[in-house]
Structure 1
């Protein structure tokens, strides 16, 4: 994975990040956020916004000016009464709130220590809903997938092969997006296999309870839901 490109796109002075900061700053006032909420549903004249929100006209004018400067609002002239204007939301401006998309990804590889629980669940979840292929591996792979990981996968309609574990060196390639789902793998791996992202998911095997495995599943599922929209497919992995 091109970690240099990732760093350049997400640097704190990158143009996209600065634009996002302006949008966040504009929405940092409750009144301005309320205006945007109303305009998500329909257009409105400044006076109509003031009446609906209980704001004086001078304050509405100030908030509208800030939102326009951030690129969130557009003003149009009424086709009926030309003295009247309407404000409309610029929907694509809200897209600025999303994190910077990752460079094109061919495959996601989830890595943990034994490739027996967290990485297996992550890969299975990604295969069900992610935009690219997925694999999993371990730094010291076990001989089998943990039975509780198989059980939690079954409960959520995922398929895990209890005999299929693999070593990082046999799986990871240079164009993979590598995600360490445990602290040990994140801290141990260097060179071509070094993780691009780190998810500090507690090891459920330490507790070895259904509750611990359910918690790990929920943690990973939530992280995948947040990551998947930021991943742009980069073709088929070979």
Structure 2
């Protein structure tokens, strides 16, 4: 159902008045439910698509909200709509790399309608956004859910730069691969992850630059969890086979 909201938002012009909300709901194809008197939020009925949509496929079935309601609604305050949301997937138990797979599928789904996202915010809870006639449309990947938000303007603050935690605990090589992939998938823009003395991963809004012993390659962002796993597996193999590390606990990640 994410494409329907994207298509409607791309051409729908309004003043974000609560009186106009039903017209937008109809344009998206949702079922209008009159807000209760004094309600701060209102919810709409949405039918899940059978396939070919982020709302139908992004999570591969795992962790979705049960039933036919995809979870969509609006926040209303003093007669003005402050935000419209659609819950695409609930994934309380999903790991970071699985979340990134679903996030990329949702971004690709919207990009088929609106083109590549002009606004990209990497980090632990990444987002991608598009300016549209109705405001700003964003896909946001939170630990609890993958959401689509429509707001009058971009409201989500950029994640402040953070350094990855140092790691020296003994783990196996597979564990090290998973750790490197997960840390890389959570890098905010403007930060660098160091893996041992010879590997750096530097995050920019639109790419992750991986440098190994002075040789750099770039990975477009957003990137899937599968991409992070493959990248990390190559780095760990290089550490094990080319640098003589005999055990993963010799590798410092910072």
TM-score (norm 1): 0.27
Structure with more helix by fraction? 1
Task: State the structure with more CA Rg.
Answer: 1
Structure with more strand by fraction? 2
- The higher-RCO structure (CA 8 Å, 6+ apart) is 1
